[in-house]
Chain A
Amino acid sequence: MDFDITDPSDWPKEFGPLREIDSHLRCPICKEYLRAAMMLQCHHNFCSECIRRHLDKESTCPACRVSTSTSQLRRNVSLEEIANNFGDVRQLLLKTVRESLEPKSAPAQTLECAESMDIDDFTPQQKRRRISARVGKALLSAQRGRTHESDDNDHDDDFTMHSQESSSGRKYSTRSSTRPVLRSRGGRSETTPTEQVPNPQSASSSQTSSYSLSEEHTSASEQASPTPAKESTFKHTLVACPVCTMAIPEANTNSHLDKYCFSGKQDPIYNVALSVVETYSPQAIATYEKDGSSKSVSLPASPQRNTLRSAFSSSPVRFNGFAQQPSKLGAQSGAAPIPEPKRLPKLTYSVLNDKQLRKKLQELGLPTHGDKQLMQRRHAEYLTLYNANCDSTRPQTIAQLHKAMDNWERTYMRDLNAKDAQRRAQEEQQQKYAQELAQQKQQEDAASTDVTNLPSSQSSNSGTTGTGFVPNQANNNDVNVAIASQAAQAHKLKNADNYNDLIADIRRRQQREKDAKAKAALEANDAASAPIQPPPQEEL
């Protein structure tokens, strides 16, 4: 099997919340992670393609059957992003989770026991928080061991998360300043999971919590200028520079003014307007992104700005239309935003004739062969694929869509041919059956005429031999007739029996064959699934 079938039950049962998360991120129709999540009025989420296909058939929500339509579909971008990212990180996370459950050494085991015990004492919400904190940390440390590139991405993510946390206040603090809150909630076990993690880098939680911004920042300053931008500076309140209005730490105001603003230079580090930092919300990002081209004139690109930008744009990527991955955005900051792709409208096929439909297909670059039904199906299929693709944050190119259409065409034709073959086989069988029936009837007719001919000839004989009163002969004849008719009836009955027997026999044979086949398949099946599940006991 070339499919990788995943399931919420892959997660160990000790990590129940992860199972929950996993199942919530799946489309109830296709049971895979949501692709281009769409929300209905009733707040149920589905893959765009799945729900579009369903709504083509009937206009109700599959989950609650509230009536709805495609026009009421709304994108659920954050859910889609979560599903995407969870899908991306699944394998790694699963590995980490499983490793954390493996008994390594005696002390680790006791620790774990103690932990799982006190996990049970907490409310589900607390449990969830603690487990996710633990897993997140394990993951973080696992990812730190990877390439430098992915390391950078992690920083971006941390930065995003972090600035979101502090968006309400003016505090532009690092993780280490927000962490204590988390840690106090997590209690003592917060430090235990890190000990189970194989990576020694994360042995101390304080190291983990404070590394993100400081490291990023120093690397940025190393590249850009020798400005001393220590971690501590970020802990201070950000204020707008009175001259250039950029967001700068309060304590750095004087040095910033002296070094850059008064000398007419631009600060390579603090070059993001305070308004952008403060009003950090998806809408703000959207405007920021859209105005990106004009702003980039006044704000020359710098490493710091780029990271900020890519961090900002990690969720709303739509403006860029097809074929762009979120991670590439930072590099393309100067490019003009591509307008959102337009959905294709539905057609009323009944009012279109073949020629018009063919033209529509031609406009879309699709094959135009086949009868109207095929063309109609083809158009509907492409419409679904195309519109679902418009909803995706990871859209495919038109060429990929056309390739999918080629595939569809092949499967459709194959199914059609298979159906044809099946119908033909059925017809043949019916014909054969009818022939058999006819033959049988012929034989039967022939037999019955044989029998009925006999007494009639006899009776005519008797008629010719004696018109007068000949009791013996007449008696004889009567007896003969009676016997003959009886024989005929018996023959007929026998024949009928034969005929019924034949049919029953044919049916029985078919049934037996079928049973044998099913049995063999079942046995094979059972044998295949034997290690997982014993076959049902047949005896009472």
Chain B
Amino acid sequence: MNRNMGSTALKRLMTEYRELTLHAPEGITAGPISEDNFFEWEALIEGPQDTPYEGGIFPATLTFPRDYPLSPPQMKFTCEMFHPNIYQDGTVCISILHAPGDDPNMYESSSERWSPVQSVEKILLSVLSMLAEPNDESGANIECCKIWRSDRKQFDAIVKRTVRKTLGL
């Protein structure tokens, strides 16, 4: 019964993978990129309905630390994403992905931060709701924030363009 850190993380990730494949929430698919490395996952997120992201399928990678679930994973979209809370390189900036220790924006209450009882599923669901409702208080993409705040039509147009791009149209 060896339960050192690596194996705890591995087992937990396997459990979560199993859960996600058996009972996948709508609009989300996730799993390890290869069975050899359970610490790198690929996720596909469907754009939520009634948002400019509707119809898009956005690929992202999740990178888990060795001491998962004590520390949160990192999430990065591998496609072009135009969203106030997503950095230009695709890194997602939401509170559930931040450990209570580090607060890049100094605004998040600790209640919505990462804790070991959270899971991949919860992260992806949070990202889904983030796509539907951007949080302009914590801008990761300032340019996008400005447009989102001032010119919603332009924002929608840009997003729709990126959505078409991700679909290869």
Contacts and interface: CB of A to CB of B under 8 A. Distances in A.
Interface of A: 1, 3, 5, 7, 9, 28-32, 49-50, 53-54, 57-58, 60, 62-63, 65, 381, 396, 400, 403-404, 407-408, 411, 415, 514-515, 518, 521-522, 524-525, 528-529, 532-533, 535-536, 538, 540
Given A28-B116, A515-B78, A65 B14 contact: no
B106 interface: no
Given A415-B66, A536-B44, A404 B115 contact: no
The B interface, classified by DSSP as helix, strand, loop or mixed, is: mixed
Contacts, number: 113
A245 to B, nearest CB: 45
Nearest to A514: B78
A7 B1 CA distance: 19
Given A407-B4, A532-B21, A62 B116 contact: yes
A174 B121 CA distance: 50
A32 B12 CA distance: 8
Given A60-B100, A522-B42, A536-B44, A411 B21 contact: no
19 contacts: A5-B11, A5-B18, A7-B22, A9-B22, A28-B116, A29-B12, A29-B69, A29-B117, A30-B3, A30-B8, A49-B3, A57-B71, A518-B42, A521-B33, A524-B34, A528-B35, A529-B21, A532-B21, A536-B57
Contacts of A535: 29
Contact of B5 (A29, A54, A65, A408): A408
B160 to A, nearest CB: 12
B11 A30 contact: yes
A62 B117 contact: yes
Interface string B99-111: 1110000000011
Interface of B: 1-6, 8, 10-12, 14-16, 18-19, 21-24, 29, 31-35, 42, 44, 46, 55, 57, 59, 61, 66-67, 69-71, 78, 99-101, 110-111, 115-117, 167, 169
Given A5-B18, A7-B18, A532-B22, A411 B100 contact: no
A525 B78 CA distance: 17
A63 B8 contact: no
A54 B70 contact: yes
Contacts of B99: 57-58
Contacts of A54: 70, 116
Contacts of B8: 30, 50
Given A54-B116, A415-B6, A521-B33, 4 more contacts: A404-B4, A524-B34, A535-B29, A538-B167
A7 B15 contact: yes
A381 B4 contact: yes
A65 B3 contact: no
B34 to A, nearest CB: 5
B59 to A, nearest CB: 7
A30 B12 contact: yes
B146 to A, nearest CB: 27
Contacts of B44: 522, 536
